[in-house]
Amino acid sequence: MLRTMAAMGIGTSLAACGSSSAAPGAPPAPPAPPPGGMPSPRPGDWPGSVGAGKSVVILGGGIAGMTAALEMTRLGYSCTILEATPMAGGRNKTIRAGDSIVETDSSQTCNFDLNNELYFNAGPARIPHHHEFLLGYCREFGVALETFTNENRAALMQSTGSMGGQPVIARRVEADTRGHVARLLATAINQNALDAELTAADKANILEMLRRFGDLDGSFNYAGSGRAGFPGQENTGSRQRDEQVNPLALQDLINETFWQQRQGFTDGLNQQSTMLQAVGGMDRIARAFEAEVASDLVTDAEVTEIRKTTGGVRIVYDRLGTPTQLDADFCVCTIPATVLRNIANDFSAAHQSEIANFNYSAAGKIAFQSRRFWEQDHNIYGGISWTTQDITQIWYPNSGFGQDNGILVGAYIFGGSAGTNFANLSPAQRISTAIAQGRNLHPEMNGEAARGISIAWSKIPFQLGAWGTSSPLTLLTPDENIVFAGEHLSILQGWQEGAILSAYYAIDLIVQQT
């Protein structure tokens, strides 16, 4: 128990927030206390036929539930997945022409054109290269992957309170920040301010490194850099390739928290290059898992009761109006806490309390079909622009380059009050809001961004939230023959890899009891 709890890294989310990092304004999480080399469970750890003759009911057919079914079947357990909706995948959801997004108080139909590249990953949309288990399943199942660009130096940064509210091309912020930092440190070194810790040789070496780091001149001054680009670079065929832009002032880069906070996002371990995406939409992964566990999957099965029996569990679920009872030796419950708290159950008071109080992000997104003006007029091929406005981010498609049209994610709001505000808007209001804000970065959005479709995860039935944000404790312990799983219980909250790690953890708890 101690071993697996330590391995789960209780309360030490390395990079919470689904396919994103901490919301703007939130400081980075403190580093996790090292768990002392405690191993975390994974396939290969368990005896080959440990589950023979034992049954498991898995609640929820998302990535966690399907991983549990897949691996436990391999161990000999007899598995049944109860999935409340008509399709497995959970929050791994890709929207294409004709698909619906049904929220608790609205319904939308996607009217994109029918085209392989015109899809909207409403849930997870990127995969870090070291999410080895998820990537291993992609390899095993033959899911094609391609590069996802997190950091595009041609993308924009826009703060309403700085630079007159004008968007600035990311390469200028990057180059000038490095230039100023390098220049200031070189100044201090040359004034002998750091002689207490730097030898003469160190000083010479670090000055040379700083010159390259910041693109300083021979006197260790920073007077701008070709790294920041040239004027007119957003017009096809710039006539000014040889000209240098003036550097942004240090004060402009640090006077407002927005510019501070953009430092380091793509340096985070879960946001570093190379990032990946599934070719044709993230749900290719859900479909591949689904194909593996199809024989164990019961869809349209809404769980209404979770009961303990002597040495086992009893689940009552409603399938298209018909109540059904299912007994099993074990239960893996991956239902989000937001949903689980409203299902009749026999959980211990401690488990019920943690479920009742578990917090979730109210993240949301909106997508538009548009001419690829970002490629044709601004040389933006994939990546993300940032703004201090509620829409937070604009995502450009990372594939289908050169096609006439693409899907622009016009807002990706991680949660917080902006997320709640977004959820409280009607679908039509979300469209007008996203265009009103987006055109401060891209005037073309006013007129060219069309067919908007949005998702507020806090209003999606059977999810009621985007990802868990509380630190789990009791839910990492079994409640008799019931164990819990889901991204919210992992050290990678909000990531598909977290869902998988949580499934391995749950399997380990059951194997220990088998």
Most distant CA atoms of the chain, gap in Å: 81
The least distance separating its own copies from the CB of residue 117, rounded to whole angstroms, comes to 11
Region of 32-40, 363-371, 420-428, 429-437 interacting with its own copies (CB under 8 A): 32-40
Minimum CB separation of residue 297 from its own copies in Å reads 25
427-434 own/partner pairs: CB under 8 Å, 24+ apart: 427/106, 427/108, 427/452, 427/453, 427/454, 430/364, 430/366, 430/454, 431/366, 431/368, 433/390, 433/391, 434/366, 434/368, 434/391, 434/410
**CB-based contact 363:457 (threshold 8 Å):** yes
Question: Shortest distance, CB of residue 31 to its own copies, whole angstroms?
Answer: 6
In angstroms, rounded to a whole number, what is the distance separating the alpha carbons of residues 6 and 2?
A: 6
What's the CA angle centered on 403, arms 400 and 405, to 5 degrees? Answer: 100
Report d(CA 101, CA 89) in Å as an integer.
Answer: 14
Site for its own copies in 433-492 (CB under 8 A): 491
Residue by residue, DSSP assigns 86-101 as SSS-TT--EE-TT-EE
Query: Please, which of residues 177-236 interact with its own copies by CB under 8 A?
Result: 177-178, 181-182, 184-185, 187-189, 191, 193-194, 197-198, 201-202, 205-206, 208-210, 212-213, 215, 224-227, 229-230, 233, 236
Which one of residues 51, 383, 478, 486 is an interface residue with its own copies (CB under 8 A)? 383
Q: Give the x-and-dash track for 302-341 against its own copies (CB under 8 A).
A: ----------------------------------------
> Pattern of binders to its own copies over 2-31, x per CB under 8 A?
-----x-x--x-xx------------x--x
Size of the residue set binding its own copies (CB under 8 A) = 109
Query: Does 402 interact with its own copies (rule: CB under 8 A)?
Result: yes
Binding to its own copies by residue 174, rule CB under 8 A?
Answer: yes
Number of C-beta neighbours around residue 315 at 10 A: 24
Query: For residue 176, which phi and psi values (nearest 5 degrees)?
Result: -75, -35
Closest approach, Cβ 342 to its own copies, in A, equals 33
Question: Among residues 99 and 497, whose Cβ is nearest to its own copies?
Answer: 497
84 or 189: CB nearest its own copies: 189
Among 73, 78, 106, 147, binds its own copies (CB under 8 A): 147
Q: Residue for token digits 């007077």?
A: 223
> By three-state DSSP, how is residue 127 classified?
strand
Rule CB under 8 A: choose which of 2, 86, 114, 142 binds its own copies: 142
- CA dist 507 to 3, 4, 56, 308, 310, Å? 14, 11, 10, 18, 20
Give the residue, chosen from 5, 50, 87, 135, that forms a contact with its own copies under the rule CB under 8 A.
Answer: 135
Interface residue with its own copies, options 376, 426, 429, 446 (CB under 8 A): 376
Q: If we measure between CA atoms, which residue out of 356, 402, 303 comes closest to residue 85? A: 303
Q: How far is the CB of 104 from its own copies (least distance, A)?
A: 36
- Measured in Å, how far apart are the chain's first and last C-alpha atoms? 14
The residue within the footprint of its own copies, chosen from 37, 164, 311, 321 (CB under 8 A), is: 37
Out of 175, 337, 355, 441, name the contact with its own copies by CB under 8 A: 175
Within 10 A of 3 (CB to CB), how many other CB atoms are there?
Answer: 14
- Listed in sequence order, the residues at least 6 apart from 350 whose beta carbon sits closer than 8 Å to its beta carbon are 474
**How far is the C-alpha of 149 from the C-alpha of 385, rounded, in Å?**
11
Tell me how far, at minimum, the Cβ of 322 lies from its own copies, in Å.
41
Cα 504 to Cα 7: distance, rounded to the nearest angstrom: 11
Give the residue with the Cβ less far from its own copies, 208 or 327: 208
Task: Tell me the Ramachandran region of residue 53: left when phi exceeds 0, alpha when psi lies from -120 to 50, beta otherwise.
Answer: left
- Enter the tokens of residue 348: 């211990």
Q: Angle at Cα 142 formed by Cα 137 and Cα 147, nearest 5°?
A: 85
Q: Which of 98, 130, 161, 428 binds its own copies (CB under 8 A)?
A: 130
* Interacting positions 76-105 with its own copies (CB under 8 A): none
Q: Pattern of binders to its own copies over 269-308, x per CB under 8 A?
A: x--xxx-x--------------------------------
Cβ proximity to its own copies: between 113 and 195 the closer is: 195
Q: Which of residues 238-257 bind its own copies (CB under 8 A)?
A: 238-244, 250-251, 253-255, 257
Using rule CB under 8 A, residue 409 touches its own copies:
no
